[in-house]
Structure 1
Amino acid sequence: MSGRRIDSDSDVVRDHALSPVAGKDDLQKLVAAIPEDVRFVLMGESSHGTHEWYTTRAELTKLLVQQRGFHALATEADFPDQFRVNMYARGLSKDDMTSTDALHNFKRFPQWMWRNDEWDHMVSWINGYNRATGMAGNLDKAGGVGVYGMDVYSMHASSRIVINFLDEVDPEAGKRARQRYACFDRFGKDAINYAFQFAAGGASCEQQVLQVLMDVIQKAACYDQKDDSGVLAAEKKFSAVCNARIVKDAEEYYRQMFFSSQALTWNIRDTHMVDTVKMIEDHLANDYHVAAPKIIIWAHNSHISDARASDMGRSRGEVNVGQIMRQEYGNEAYNIGFLTHRGSVAAADEWDQPVRRKTLRPSMEGSYERLMHDTGLPSLALDIRNAAPELNEALKGPKLQRFVGVIYLPKTERQSHYSRSWLPEQYDMVVHVDKTKALHPLETETSWDKGEGLEGEEFREPPETYPFGV
């Protein structure tokens, strides 16, 4: 019998890992692993409330901006709220004196997802970088690094922005938009009421929102505000078109909610996110004359991974941003997943409840997180795109993977937060930090340190308008 030692999967992972992933020099090695021809870097997160995911993505983003000339950051956020950040970052805001001021529009749950110290510091850096390099407000230099939201949930806020734009450029078009968007007035502020009424046989607003979008596209194409700088005009008309598209896609999202599977509404949302990235690409190319726009995307792992390599695509028929970007851009798209074994996380117990610093339980046996933990390394990164055969074999799925959104339910950990996945097909790179901590919201309540939540409270299902997972 041979005395040769047979390596365990964790041994193989450790042998192929870059570790630690802690300082700037370590992150520089990760950037070096990203091919030079990549134009879209998708950065994930295993939860919406982990300090290390915000700070690590921020440092990687800075390096990509400084060394690779990336032009914009697209985020899993509402477009109107993040557009205020964009205006501050580009040096175009007349009202916001600080990065914290620019975060003021993030008011609805989960406001702490973007109103936190980590994002505040990143916004301040982008503003400082744009000013220091002379890019802020400079049409010849893409107006600086832009920051945009790409989600679909801002129907009412977006409709107000559209009307304001049309009022400025063509008051008659603004009047028509008011009349058409008034289709939603009878449903109140909660868009889910529109879904209920349509399901009960009510008329849809589909044609009205499409007509407004066509008006906005036409008016934006010839927009030339003499009082605005070139960059300000470019951003204002881009915002108008994006917001009109949000209203159109949000109407479809809610209209389909009770007539189709959950997969369809998920697919509408993620397809909208990709469409927004494409619009940012066209915006940079057409308005700023950037030959090959480069865009960074921040979103949850469930969005930036490849859905075909998880239960999302294989069992539920869902597509996601990572899959669509790979299909349409090939090797120009590069996605990075982020995993952790244990620690703490900022999350709520229920929908629309205060954020809490909750204990994140150790990962389950049979999960990729536990496999990474078993290496004994405090942090590591794996270059999956160029993985050796033995590493691919060690990572072979299916294995469980944890997904924590804005709500964390440790008592139903397996059912609520784990899904099967095939990691080698899911990401181009994986970063694992064994113990992570909660991000730091700008505001917290007395319940912040209540651990896993109050006992004996009745659990209320969160609205489908914002799935608690991601």
Structure 2
Amino acid sequence: MDQDTGFLTQGVYPLQNVRDLDPIINEIGNSQYVLIGEASHGTSEYYTWRADLSKRLIQEKGFTLIAVEGDWPSSYSLNQYVQGRQGGTAQQALQSFRRWPTWMWANQEVASFSEWLRQYNQPLAQNQKVGFYGMDVYSMWESLEEVRNYMQTADPAVAQLAQAALNCLGPYNRDEQQYAQATARGTSCAPQMQALIQAVQAHRAKQPAAHEGAFNAEQNALVAVNAERYYTQMVRSGSESWNVRDRHMQETINRLVAEKGAGAKIIVWAHNTHVGDARYTDMASSGMVNVGQLIREQHAQKGVYLVGFGSYEGQVIASNTWGGSTRVMTVPQAKAGSWEQILHRYSPENKLLLMRELQNIPEAMESRGHRAIGVTYNPGFESGNYVPTILPRRYDAFLYIDKTKALSPL
């Protein structure tokens, strides 16, 4: 230990096996919302530790919902598999994730967890089974098609409204960028989306309370409305489009809890940039909010627990460009003065940090860089990958993995 890391006098615990998660489980207590992050979308250990923590929350704390940073239609297909409503294997079910970057969900780590979840659910009554759902906003076309296909039988007049929205989007060849640019020239399919969601909501209001098909259709209509808003903002304001997306995630979390029953407990899987409270980063000065902040602000009394991840060096699955080819990249050693470098210098082992214990240490409450790697990454230009962060406020617990391996895409 050196003088730069000497302030870490408490709150640091070993992280070698699943029993080492005990301090987190104890702190979570009866919390209803547990959000678990990742410092990249392509690191094996983030996925496996997140799965291990989720298994314990399901088995020991009665969590019955998982919401992930993935598309609703693709995730719903996997949900049907883990709940035992469709056959095959997890690997086959994960083929529903066709949107780039497919590796984010169609990987061996998620397949293994999905098989475990299916086995866990097997003996349970339907209302006790754990569900797996997507909370992202990108699936505008796919969600409209899901609404249309469902309503063709359930309510043909609503199916026609879904088709009208698809017809409005027709000239853009399923290219979100094309549509976004068209909105800057005054074009908009928002009226068609609005007419559709109102009709879907009216349809759902006539169904029995727990009518899953109607709930699924309504969620897909909501995705389409918010996706249209997201792409419209994308060419106008990066921070506002971000906020549309994270508010949609918050709304989806709330809808899932309400649908399952007001006391239902939910686990959220998303990148650190969504999970770690934005108020304790430089996102706040840009007017950006995120899911961790919004859920904390709304549900603090019901218990909200945020878990972050980070690492010093290793490997990651990513691409040089959006939509580009996927490859294993080397993650260089963390830059001097960053949280990851300080934790490595403290000791080059995996460790767990409990933030409550660090909040009384002035040096721990300083803002330092905290690495965030997206689906596009260039290891040679890392300076922009560090988010200034007050770590003990941004999260409740932090899992530090000193050296990582790349995810295993299917």
Which TM-score tier does this pair reach, normalised by the shorter chain? over 0.9
CA distance in 2, matches of 1:388, 1:207: 49
CA distance in 1, matches of 2:211, 2:150: 13
Secondary structure of the 2:333 match is coil
Q: 2:298 aligns with which of 323, 328, 345?
A: 328
CA distance in 2, matches of 1:345, 1:14: 31
Report if the CA contact (8 A) 2:36-2:270 is conserved: yes
The offset of 1:408, in angstroms, is: 1.6
1:219-250 CA distance string (max 9 Å, x none): 123336xxxxx9xx733222111100000001
Unaligned runs of 5+ in 2: none
User: Is 1:127 equivalent to 2:121 in the alignment?
Assistant: no
Matched residue type, 1:406: V
1:150-203 CA distance string (max 9 Å, x none): 00000000000011121121112212331243211122210221211121233x
Unaligned runs of 5+ in 1: 1-5, 225-229, 286-290, 443-470
Bigger radius of gyration, 1 or 2?
A: 1
Structure-2 residue corresponding to 1:426: 394
Alignment of 1:174-253 (within 5 A): 174-202=159-187, 204-223=188-207, 234-253=211-230
Alignment of 1:236-385 (within 5 A): 236-259=213-236, 261-285=237-261, 291-314=262-285, 316-330=286-300, 332-385=303-356
Report if the CA contact (8 A) 2:193-2:224 is conserved: yes
Structure 1 pair 388–251 and aligned structure 2 pair: CA distance change class (3 A): closer
Matched residue type, 1:223: Q
Matched residue type, 2:8: V
Equivalent residue pairs, number: 409
Structure-2 residue corresponding to 1:453: none
Structure-1 residue corresponding to 2:43: 50
Does 333-342 or 350-359 show the bigger shift? 350-359
CA distance in 2, matches of 1:367, 1:211: 49
1:55-83 CA distance string (max 9 Å, x none): 00000000000000001100000111111
Secondary structure of the 2:162 match is helix
CA distance in 1, matches of 2:105, 2:217: 22
CA distance in 1, matches of 2:206, 2:150: 13
Q: 1:13 aligns with which of 8, 27, 31?
A: 8
The offset of 1:46, in angstroms, is: 0.5
1:243-274 CA distance string (max 9 Å, x none): 00000001111122223x21000000011011
Report if the CA contact (8 A) 1:49-1:346 is conserved: yes
1:310-363 CA distance string (max 9 Å, x none): 11112x111100110111011511100101000111111222122211111000
Matched residue type, 1:109: W
Alignment of 1:9-158 (within 5 A): 9-13=4-8, 15-19=10-14, 21-34=15-28, 36-93=29-86, 96-131=87-122, 133-135=123-125, 138-139=126-127, 141=128, 144-158=129-143
CA distance in 2, matches of 1:210, 1:386: 48
The offset of 1:92, in angstroms, is: 1.5
Secondary structure of the 2:159 match is helix
CA distance in 2, matches of 1:249, 1:257: 12
Does 187-196 or 356-365 show the bigger shift? 187-196
1:99-131 CA distance string (max 9 Å, x none): 111101112210011111000000111100000
Does 188-197 or 246-255 show the bigger shift? 188-197
Q: 2:381 aligns with which of 403, 412, 433?
A: 412
Report if the CA contact (8 A) 1:339-1:431 is conserved: yes
User: Is 1:398 equivalent to 2:363 in the alignment?
Assistant: no
Matched residue type, 2:246: D
Matched residue type, 2:395: Y
* TM-score using structure 2 length: 0.96
CA distance in 2, matches of 1:183, 1:364: 48
CA distance in 1, matches of 2:377, 2:211: 40
Report if the CA contact (8 A) 1:181-1:209 is conserved: no
* TM-score using structure 1 length: 0.84
Does 45-54 or 373-382 show the bigger shift? 373-382
CA distance in 2, matches of 1:180, 1:99: 33
CA distance in 2, matches of 1:262, 1:367: 26
Report if the CA contact (8 A) 2:74-2:134 is conserved: yes
CA distance in 2, matches of 1:438, 1:110: 15
